[in-house]
A and B are shown apart, each in its own frame.
Chain A
Amino acid sequence: MAAALINVPKKAKRGDVIEIKTLISHIMETGYRRTAEGKAIPRDIITNFTCRYNGEEIFRADLFPATAANPFISFFTIATESGKFDFEWIGDNGFSATASATISVE
């Protein structure tokens, strides 16, 4: 449904601090805009973002209408072991999207 772009290094040394960048396509309608006829456009945003590293939550964010369209979030983590990152976005109107990325740690 929604296209997500994830940037995680494929390989890392154990103990390295790595940057994770995420981008998801979403309109992030603020709910404060109106059409030309003066009708309020209802809010439609992503409200929560979570990142899990081999099942353990390492990062979480609450988003608001003040987040720009196509939310971009980048953060850091320590490469501890090879495995999988799971990303999840949850939003208004039952919006839900997931993505994942793998990393090999030497």
Chain B
Amino acid sequence: MRSSKASTRRHFLTLAGGAATIGAIPVVSLRPAGATPESMAAAIRNVVGTATVQTGRVKLDIPPLVENGNTVPMTVSVTSPMTSSDYVKSIHVFNEKNPQPNLGNFYLTPRAGRAQVSTRIRLADTQKITAIARLSDGSLWSVSTEVVVTLAACTEDVI
């Protein structure tokens, strides 16, 4: 009788442990590897190579405090005359903590007249956003901004 009690207890503990383990697996897989400051740096290197990136000329308009990360308005503008000899070729936007580090690549021509692009993005966490512009003379300019996100996007509905 005593042994049966012990076995019941052991049985219960095994079950409880098993349940805990099962419970733990989704918790672990809930968090995808995700973009990290390192993977953002790698994504930026993929675009700019070894060239130096200067700070300035780019303006990143994004609310500093975001309630809903599912749709965040973002405007990137670059100070440029946009003539056929001096224009913005492309704008690349990166993030630190979404599941992957790219937010968008935009390719412009001198016919744009104004180097400005707006879109709506998703943000999974409070993080740093970096925009880099490549000019026709090959120079690269960047700006970074911190965004606080209260409701995360990208991986919701997982629980």
Contacts and interface: CB of A to CB of B under 8 A. Distances in A.
B106 A59 contact: yes
Contacts of B85: none
A33 B118 CA distance: 26
B103 interface: yes
B56 interface: no
Contacts of A36: 157
Contact of A32 (B109, B115, B123, B155): B155
Interface in B97-124: 98-100, 102-109, 111-123
B138 interface: no
A66 B112 contact: no
Contacts of B30: 34
Interface residues of A, number: 33
B109 A57 contact: yes
Size bracket of the B interface: 35 or more
Contacts of B122: 30, 65-68
A66 B154 contact: yes
B56 to A, nearest CB: 21
Interface in A8-67: 17-18, 30, 32-36, 38, 53, 56-67
Contacts of A58: 109, 111-112
A36 B158 CA distance: 7
B130 interface: no
Interface string A65-97: 111110111111110100000000000000000
Given A17-B113, A62-B104, A75-B106, A68 B120 contact: yes
A68 to B, nearest CB: 4
Contacts of A76: 112-116
Interface of A: 17-18, 30, 32-36, 38, 53, 56-69, 71-78, 80
14 contacts: A18-B113, A30-B122, A34-B158, A35-B157, A57-B109, A59-B106, A59-B109, A59-B112, A60-B106, A61-B106, A65-B122, A66-B95, A66-B98, A67-B103
